[in-house]
Structures are given as structure tokens and as C-alpha cells.
Amino acid sequence: MKKWLIALCTGLCLLSLTACGAKEEAPHLSDSEALQEATMDAQMLNSIILNDMVDEYSYQMNQEYGWGTMLKSACESMEKSIGEMGSIEFGNEELVSNSVTLDSLGNFDDGSIQILLHGSKRDAIFEVVFERGTYKSFTTNVKYTFAESMQKAGLNTLLGMGTVFCVLILISFIISAFNLIPKIQGAFKKKPVSANEKTVDNAIASIIEKEESLDDGELVAVISAAIAAYEGTSSDGFVVRSIRRFR
């Protein structure tokens, strides 16, 4: 009996600890207020774009709150979307999602709001994101039909594959051109003949021509005289019987 009482008391203690440790859920912004807040933000951005005051408001918001860069990016996102949406038709917005929580004072804390904006050509999802009680981002994403999405996907695929094949063809041409590199290098390695070298070559050629034009008798006389001068004797003391060219 005592064991059962101990087990029961232990279970009750665990349940009480669990209840004490449970965190109280933060209150959420109502859907009507969320729709109103996101609509006002979308109208503000649209008005800034139409009045061509993006830079002015971005500078002002940066000076006051420090999120001028975020506002400029939000205006650029909406301006790009308006080009595909057409003019935005305010007054019939629809709430898509709302996850904004409130702090203890009832102010915006964290979360996001998504609403559907209707345009003259296409609709778009406008999203406002809060973080630590301040705006984090505004984004506008155009909604495309299934056929338009498939067409975009097909064009992107075709463009990607076409780029890959063009690069492969270019690489194949570069590889085939490698055979020309040795020929080009050989052409650059050929040293041009200088003027001095040409003069020497011409002189050698003329000497050879003169030697070839001499007959054997004249050549024997020249050689005999040269030997006699070297030996210090006369050419009568020896006889040249044969002449053989040595190169």
C-alpha cells in the first residue's frame, strides 16, 4: 500500500512540475488587424513608387529608424512586380497568412503577414515580416499561372543547356587548336639572317665560284708556289702529281 502511495505522489509531483514549466503562448495579432496593417504598408510603398520619392523616403527612414536600405529594396521589389501585375487594384485584398505575435504591451513582436494583391494583369503575394518589434522586410511576388510557370522553366532550361553546349563547342575548338601551337612556336624560333651574315655567305660563295673556275694547270701552279714558299725552296725540287679536294 505504501508503494502505491509513493508512486501516486511521484506522478502528481511530475504533473505539477510539467504544468509549471509550460510556457504561456504569446498572443497573436487578429486577422482583421493583420489584413489592415499589410494593406496600409502595400499602399504606402505603391504611393512612394508612383510619386517617384523612393530615394527621399529611403533617406528619411534611414535617418529616423535605420531601415532605409530595406525600404528601398522593398520599393524595387514592388516596382518590378508592378511591371508584370499592371496597376494594383486596392480595396479587395485577401489575407493569406498571419503569424505575428504581440508583446506584453500589445505591440507587434515577431512573425509575418501575407496578403493577396489584385492587379489588372496578374495577382501578387505581398509579405510583411516583423522581427523584434520592427519591420524586417517587404516583398512582392507575382503569381503566375501553371502554363506561365512551365514556360519560364522551359526557357530557363533551354538557356542553361544552350550555354553548356556553346561552352563545350568552344572548348573543343580550343583543344583542336593545340596542334597549331608547335608550328607557331617554330615560326617564332627561326632567327632572321642578319646583314653581316649575308655578306659573309656571299663572299664564301664568290670564293668557291672562283676556285671552281680555275683549271687544273693554274691550280697546280698556285699550289706549287705556295709549297715552295713554305719550304723555302723552288718549285723545281718536287712534282705535284694529283690534287684532291678536302672539305
Report the length, in residues, of the chain: 247
Is residue 87 within 8 A of residue 103, CB to CB? The reply is no
Is residue 68, in this structure, part of any structural domain at all?
A: yes
99: its cell numbers: 503569424
Specify the pLDDT at position 202.
61
For residue 190, what are the CA distances in angstroms to 71, 183, 200, 236? 67, 11, 19, 54
- Model pLDDT, residue 196: 52
Grid cell for residue 6: 509513493
- Whole-number Cα distances in Å, 85 to 122, 156, 229, 231, 232: 4, 21, 114, 116, 118
Question: Hey, is 142 helix, strand or coil?
Answer: strand
Residue 6 vs residues 10, 11, 17, 20, 52: alpha-carbon distances, Å = 6, 9, 17, 21, 75
- In the chain, the number of structural domains is 3
Q: Based on the domain organization, do 45 and 77 belong to the same domain?
A: yes
Q: Are 132 and 109 in contact (CB under 8 A)?
A: yes
In single-letter form, the type of residue at position 80 comes to K
Is residue 201 domain-resident? yes
- Of 115, 143, 171, at which residue does a domain stop? 143
Residues 126 and 222 grouped into a single domain: no
Please provide the DSSP assignment of 162-200 as one string.
HHHHHHHHHHHHHHHGGGHHHHHHHHHHSPPPPHHHHHH
Same domain, 139 and 152: no
Residue-level pLDDT at 213: 54
Domain encompassing residue 131? 26-143
Q: What is the mean pLDDT of each run of 10 residues along the chain (247 residues)?
A: 48 49 69 93 92 89 85 91 89 93 87 94 93 90 80 79 85 80 73 56 57 61 70 67 63
- Buried b or exposed e, range 217-227, using 16+ CB within 10 angstroms: eeebeeebeee
204 shares a domain with 170:
no
The residues facing 207 across adjacent strands are none
Amino acid at 136: K
Please indicate, yes or no, whether residues 85 and 39 belong to a single structural domain of this protein: yes
pLDDT of residue 93: 93
